[in-house]
Every structure is written in C-alpha cells, then in structure tokens.
Amino acid sequence: MSCLQRQERPKPSQGHHHAASRKVIQMNVKLLGMEGDTDLQFLLQGGDLLKVRSQSWKKTRYFRLQEDCKTMWHESKKPFRSNPTFSLDDVSALRLGRQSEGLKKYTEEQVDGRCFSIVFKSRRKNLDLIASSDEEAKQWVNSMEKIIANLNNLNRQEKTEHWIMACLMKADKNKDAKLSESEVKDFMRLINVDVDDDYTDMLFKKCDTSKSGYLSGKEIKNLYDLLTDREEIDVIYGEYAKTTGYMNPSNLVDFLLTEQREKASLTDAHQIIDKYEPDETVKAKKLLSKDGFLMYLHSPQSLILNVDHRDIYQDMTLPLNHYFISSSHNTYLMEDQLKGPSSTEAYVRALLKSCRCVELDCWDGSDNEPVIYHGYTLTSKILFKDVIKAIKDYAFKASDYPVILSLEHHCSVEQQQVMAHHMSSILGSALVTKPLGEGMPETFPSPEELRGKFLIKGKRLNKLESYFTQEADEDTDVTEEEESDNDEEVEEKEKTPKKKLKLAKELSDMVIYCKSVHFNGFEDARNNLSFYEMSSFKEGKAKRLASESANAYVRHNVNKLSRIYPAGSRTDSSNYNPVSLWNAGCQIVALNFQTTCEDMDVNQGRFLVNGKTGYILKPSFLRDPATDFDPITLTRGEWLKHKTFHVMIISGQQLPKISKKKSSIVDAMVKVEIHGVPADVATKETNVVENNGFNPSWNENFQFDVYVPELALVRFVVEDHDSTSGNEFVAQYTLPFNSLQMGYRHIPLLNKTGDVLPSAGLFVHVMVLDA
C-alpha cells in the first residue's frame, strides 16, 4: 500500500479569486468563532488520502474544506463530475480505525491506526479513508469533529447567516465579492425564491445606493436585511416593546405569561436578556431588542417541543412491559429484503436512533460460523459474531436503557452453540442470563434496573421456573418462529403444524424475560402463559385484533409483551402504520428502520421525548389490569380528556429546494395531521404559496378536537404543491400532542431520513384548551 505524503496543492479558487476567497473564509471563520484555529487551518489546506472502495480500488484523492467552512471538496477523476462535495451537516459520525465493514474487509490490520471512516446521515455509502500516519488520521477526525460541533452550536440566526453567506458565494460567479443584477437573480433562486424581473430590478435599485451597477459590502448586507425581515415578528415585538421601542423585563414577563402561557418571573426575564441580547449597550440597560427577541424565539427553550420533555421526565422504574419500546424489523438490511445488502452498519444506524429491540435472522454459515441474512433471498450475508460486536460497541451510545436481541434462528444445534458462545464472550456481564434478584420473579424488571443490559428474545426449552427447581428440560424440539413464514397471514396456515426445530440448551438458557411462544388466543394466554412468555404477531393479524378485540388486546398487553412485525409480502421493506397497535398497548411494534416514510416519521415522533431513550411510558389506562379502554368504541373513562387544539400556521423559513435544477422553486403548503385513536385522526392543509421556499407566509388558522391526548401525535408536513403529478415531500416534524408548548413557537424541520435541516423551520401559534 502506497505511503501518502501530506502536501499542499493549489486550491480550486486560487488565482484572481484568491483575495475574495480569503475574505469569505475570514467571515465564516469569525462566525464559527474559530479565528486562528489550527484544526480549521489544517482542513482548509487539505491533503491526500487513500480512498478505499474494494480490494482492487484504492486511489489517492485530495480532500480540503471549502471557503464556506462546512463543505468538504475532494478531487474526482470522473470526467463529468464537476462538484464532488459533501456537507459536514450531512455527517453522522467519524470513526477512527478499521471500524467499517469495508475497511475490515479490504485493508490489513497493520494500517488500523491510519484508517478512518466518514459515516453519513442519509443512505450515502461510508467514505473509507487511509491517511499517511496514525497522527494524521487523528488530525482529520478531530478537526472535522471540532467544526461539526461548532456548526451545531450556532444559534438559528447564525445558521441562517452562514447558509445565506454560502448562497451569496455560489451566486458570485466571478468571485469579485460583488453582485451584478443577474447574480442577484441567481442568488434569489438559490435561496428558493422565484421573482419576476421587475421585482429583482426594484430590489437591486433599492440596495445599489452607490449607483455603481453592482452590490458590495454594506449594500449586500442591506439586501440580506430586506430579505430576512420578519414582519410577523415586528408585529408581536411591537405589541410588547413599551419602553422607547424596546422590551424591558416587565414587558417580557407580560409576553411570556399572556402569549406563551409560561410561568415567568422578572428573574427569568433578566436571564433571557443576559443570554440572548446581542447588543451590549442595550443589554447594559436591561432591555431586549428585536434581534434579541428573535434569537430568544429561535432558542431550544422556545421551540414547539416542551423543553422539560427533551430529557428523561417519565418514571423508568415500572415493569418493562409498561413501556412502548422503539423496535426494528430485519435490522440487518440496508435496503429491500429480496436482494439488498445486509450490513453491521444497519445495526449501528438503528441503535444510534435509540432503537432498543433489534432483529437477528440467523442461519448456518461456512466454517461453523453462523451468518445473518434474509433466508432464501439474494440479500448478502454477514457474520453473526460481527453483528454482536457492532451491537456491543453501539448499543448504549444514544440510550443507556436495555437492548433486546430478537433472535430468529434456523441454525443447527452446533451453530446455535457457537451463537451462545459469541454472545456470552462478546457481551459478557451485560448479558442477562439469569433472573434479577432472589427467587422466581412475578413481573418484569424495570428499564432502570436493566440499564446497560442485553435481553435475549427467543425460544426456550422449558419454563423459567425450572431455573430454580433444576427440573430436566422438557424437549429439545420447539416450534420454529412464525416470522420465517414469508407469506401473507392466511387463516388456514394457522391450523397447519409448525416445523420443529432442535434447540441448543446453551442458547435456550440465555432466554430469561422474553420467551417466544405461539399465540393461541387471549383466554389461553391469560390462563396458561407466564408473564415472560410473549408472542409475535404479523401486522395483519395484529391489526385485526386491535380493531375487533381491542379491549382484550389492551388487557393482554398489561401483563405480557407483544411484538408486531411487517407482513412478508413487503418485499420492498415498506412499513405499516404503528399507531393503532400502540393504541392497543402493543410495546414492540417493529418497523423497517432503513425505509424512509410517514410511518417512520410517526415512530420517530413517538420516541422523540423522554431523553430519546427508546422507552416511552404507556398511559395509566394501558397499564391497568381492569381497564375498560377501547380505542375504537371510546367509552367514558379517565382517557377522555377532550381538548380543542388551535394552531395558526404563520410562516416558513429557508425551506430546502426539492430539485437541484436552478429554476426549480418550491410552491409551499403545510399539512397539519393528528395521529391517534380513530376519533382523533384528522388532516388540514394551508393554501399554496407559489414560488417561495425562502419566507412563505400563510397566516391560516385550524382547529382540531382531540379526545385522547395521551395517545395523540401531531405531524407538521411541508409539501411542494404540484397539481399534475401529486405533491412532493419537503420536510416534516412530529411530536406527541402532550409535548406541545403553547404560544408563538418555531418548529424545526426534518428531512426524509429524519435529520434536522439546519436553517429550515415553520413559525406557528399554538393554543390547547379544555373543550
């Protein structure tokens, strides 16, 4: 393998652009607060790295940070690839060493210290790279991590400035730090606004105070101020700024009490002024300017999500079955379940999204090493032991709470023994292999008691009680898991005897709290099953039970765990709507995490709160053994807390372009959806604002009736209206109804893959009243 030498190459912007580039860099460096930072300088200078794609494809490429201080450019030898870049906003993680599948497969152990991987938030493949030394690899990783942290720490206003600066730089074709009228028109398109020539002409003349025919310096700043002026903020601020055009602490308290429905004191007001007022002179007078007010409205504590619900706020000491548990199906798949790749990376991504129940489809492999893949298909195979290592490394990075390994095995007894050995040796004492506490338990331990632990869900040869009585095993045959059946649920199939499977004692003994059993009806479960014996239901059967026997299902889930999984006919790894199953109290509602869709948005919204632990406490009426709750008929009971939800969709900010075409501009509209019990399900939508994704304004009011707020979720969806081919998804945000904050609130927006769009948002007014 060639040894790489770090060398400085001419930057693409050198020559007559150099001074302008330097000026842009200085502005962005200042915005990031990284003047004189050696890590930033290292990235701006750039250097050679060996890019690894396969055993035979290892090529040297030059990488460097661009002038916007957030886009990495790298050399490409492809003739038509003019802009091979990626944004640091799109980086999910940087991993030092041979941690990715590619580097493990295509490099030797001796280069471990020189290797690193860049992992992306989207489906984009990892970038696997090798530096010329261990120190340099560390420098690349540390430098990028530092800049990503600084970018993440920018407040909303600063992110907007940074984004607009990048658009200005792109529009300035000849890099002379000036904008001609045609460049202003390009700039408007880049920021997602399409305006006619007359408007551009008027805007240009208004800003071109020097009458020079181009904008520079302060004139560009004036253009920026004109475009980012928020009329709706002026109106709100003007109503409360009673002290010579400023808000004093008392005015601010009035705003917080009257509009935001927050408990607030003068002490709170002083703290807000100290934290958010950018003008030191104004701050010294204990006043809040309009800029400070806007910065406060963009702060995390002012967003639509209740600030107290961001952290763990629920009781985590109740039995495990009293929680909804974030769960994944076919976790090993990166794409579809017919021919898509299997990867340990898929487990990493799910676990980093706080998924707490992952699935492992295990089959006999060569050299007595079990493999994981989707049986009888063309999906690729990965080693069982590699998956267990990846799970061990990433299980508790996003959440400390227990991870359930849902085993679906089709292995011989010999390879089951190998599975048991790998889990025992790799997971060590974190693996629960005996009941907690003294004596036979009567109920599940709590998530708190199981912190940092792994539970195995699978078949067991005998009852858990035999652990204490030392009874002989009942049988070495058990019924094979029904998930291995790839066909749609068919009633006749239920009657046919299941295939028998030999089970290794070593693997059986690892199943403590999640013993898989076949479901033979609610009465049988009530009379014959212990609390730790749980059933898996195909989505079709689960949905039938949830609609036809809802209360019986709710009561079943008070004492037992239920796992739901997608129908085998979903060969494209599509998902089903999980809401009706949560309404029936089902805890482990498993979705295909690799598939982006509305159902995954709703799942992410459900688990957005409680510190993103992957555990959400079920409402009390889903935990009461004598509950009469039925989400379908909705009789009277503690669950009925009829609320009227008023929401005004005021405006949007910096919505992303859907198409990369320069001429493509978003025709923005917003849908507000309620997901919950059938009586609460509703959707309302705004009118369309044409040709403006930069600062569309709607000012439209909607009203909803919500009867069971504890199970309801609210989803805000932005779409690009198209009357001919159907609307296109732009962005969304979903949160539990009971986590809404009232008053004037900004809503952050997420892209298709559930990642935050740095500058984009909606501005709304929310009011929830007792009906």
Residues assigned a catalytic role: 329, 374
Checking phi first, is residue 570 left (phi over 0); if not, alpha (psi -120 to 50) or beta? beta
The answer to whether the annotation marks 691 as part of a ligand binding site is: yes
The answer to whether the annotation marks 72 as part of a ligand binding site is: yes
The answer to whether the annotation marks 67 as part of a ligand binding site is: yes
The answer to whether the annotation marks 289 as part of a ligand binding site is: no
Sheet with 127-130, edge to edge strand ranges = 85-87, 71-74, 58-65, 47-52, 127-130, 115-120, 91-96
Beta carbons of 535 and 516 less than 8 angstroms apart: yes
The Cα–Cα gap between 272 and 12 comes to 44
The answer to whether the annotation marks 124 as part of a ligand binding site is: no
The answer to whether the annotation marks 710 as part of a ligand binding site is: no
Rounded to 5 degrees, φ, ψ at 152 are: -70, -25
Q: Are strands 127-130 and 533-538 parallel, antiparallel or unpaired?
A: unpaired
The answer to whether the annotation marks 526 as part of a ligand binding site is: no
The answer to whether the annotation marks 722 as part of a ligand binding site is: yes
The answer to whether the annotation marks 563 as part of a ligand binding site is: yes
The answer to whether the annotation marks 108 as part of a ligand binding site is: no
The answer to whether the annotation marks 55 as part of a ligand binding site is: yes
Provide the 3-class DSSP secondary structure of residue 439: coil
Beta carbons of 695 and 651 less than 8 angstroms apart: yes
DSSP state of 714: E
Buried b (16+ CB within 10 A) or exposed e, 196-216: eeeebeebbeebbeeeeebbe
The answer to whether the annotation marks 478 as part of a ligand binding site is: no
| Residue 683: how many other CB atoms lie within 10 Å | 13
The answer to whether the annotation marks 582 as part of a ligand binding site is: no
> Shortest CA distance to 565 belongs to which of 554, 578, 556, 580?
578
Beta carbons of 290 and 241 less than 8 angstroms apart: yes
The answer to whether the annotation marks 54 as part of a ligand binding site is: yes
The Cα–Cα gap between 375 and 114 comes to 37
The answer to whether the annotation marks 56 as part of a ligand binding site is: yes
Rounded to 5 degrees, φ, ψ at 743 are: 100, -160
The answer to whether the annotation marks 73 as part of a ligand binding site is: yes
The answer to whether the annotation marks 51 as part of a ligand binding site is: yes
The answer to whether the annotation marks 665 as part of a ligand binding site is: yes
User: If residue 693 lies in a helix (H) or strand (E), which one and from where to where?
Assistant: none
Instruction: List alpha helices for 509-621, DSSP H.
Output: 522-528, 539-548, 550-559, 579-583, 598-606
The answer to whether the annotation marks 377 as part of a ligand binding site is: no
Beta carbons of 420 and 406 less than 8 angstroms apart: no
The answer to whether the annotation marks 61 as part of a ligand binding site is: yes
The Cα–Cα gap between 26 and 416 comes to 60
Residue with token string 């991870």:
403
The answer to whether the annotation marks 623 as part of a ligand binding site is: no
Q: Are strands 615-617 and 588-591 parallel, antiparallel or unpaired?
A: unpaired
The Cα–Cα gap between 682 and 715 comes to 11
The answer to whether the annotation marks 408 as part of a ligand binding site is: yes
The answer to whether the annotation marks 515 as part of a ligand binding site is: no
The answer to whether the annotation marks 18 as part of a ligand binding site is: no
DSSP state of 465: T
Distances (CA, A) of 655 to 34, 87, 669, 720, 761: 28, 17, 11, 10, 7
The answer to whether the annotation marks 68 as part of a ligand binding site is: yes
Feature table: binding site: 51-78, 330, 359, 361, 408, 457, 459, 536, 563, 665, 667, 691, 720, 722
Feature table: binding site for substrate: 51-78, 457, 459, 536, 563
Feature table: binding site for Ca(2+): 330, 359, 361, 408, 665, 667, 691, 720, 722
